[in-house]
Amino acid sequence: MIGFVVVSHSEPLAHAAVELAMQMIHGDAPPVRVAAGADGGFGTDAVAIAAAIDELADADGVLVLTDLGSAVLSSELALELRESTQPVRISGGPFVEGATAGIVRAATGGTLDEVAAEAAGALAAKQPHGEDGAPAPADVSAPAVPADAAPSSAPASDDGDVIEREVTLLNPLGLHSRPASLVVKAASGHHPAPTLTDLTNGHGPAAANSLISLLALGAEGGHTLAVRAEEEGAAAAVDALVALIGGGFGESG
- What's the pLDDT tens digit per position in 136-163? 333 322 333 333 333 344 444 555 589 9
The residue among 250 and 192 whose pLDDT is bigger is: 192
Distance of alpha carbon 134 from alpha carbon 128, whole angstroms: 6
pTM over 0.75: no
How confident is the prediction for the chain on average, in pLDDT? 85
Cβ count near 31 (within 10 Å): 16
Residues 122-135 have a mean pLDDT of 60
The full set of domains in the chain, from first to last, is 2-125 (3.40.50.510), 142-250 (3.30.1340.10)
Among 102, 108, 39, CA closest to 65 = 102
* DSSP 3-state percent helix, strand, coil across the chain (nearest 5): 40, 20, 45
**Cα gap 147→249, rounded to integer Å:** 12
d(CA 211, CA 217): 10
* DSSP labels, 204-250: --EETT-HHHHHHT---TT-EEEEEEESTTHHHHHHHHHHHHHTGGG
- 92-116 pLDDT, tens digit per residue, is 999 999 999 999 999 989 999 999 9
Q: What is the largest CA-CA distance in the chain?
A: 62
Distance CA 105, CA 91 (A): 14
Annotation says 9 is catalytic: no
Of 9, 15, 129, 176, which is the active-site residue?
A: 176
5 within 8 A of 54, measured Cβ to Cβ: no
> How far apart are the C-alpha atoms of 81 and 160, rounded to whole Å?
53
pLDDT at 252 > cutoff 80: no
Confidence of residue 128 (pLDDT cuts 50, 70, 90): low
Could you report the per-residue pLDDT of 45-79, keeping only the tens digit for each?
A: 999 999 999 999 999 999 999 998 899 999 999 99
11-49 pLDDT, tens digit each: 999 999 999 999 988 889 999 999 998 777 788 999 999
- d(CA 15, CA 94) in angstroms, rounded, equals 16
Question: In 3-state terms, what secondary structure has residue 196?
Answer: strand
Phi, psi of 20, rounded to the nearest 5 degrees? -60, -45
Size of the chain in residues: 253
Q: At a CB cut-off of 8 Å and minimum separation 6, what does 150 contact?
A: none
Q: What is the pLDDT of residue 144?
A: 31
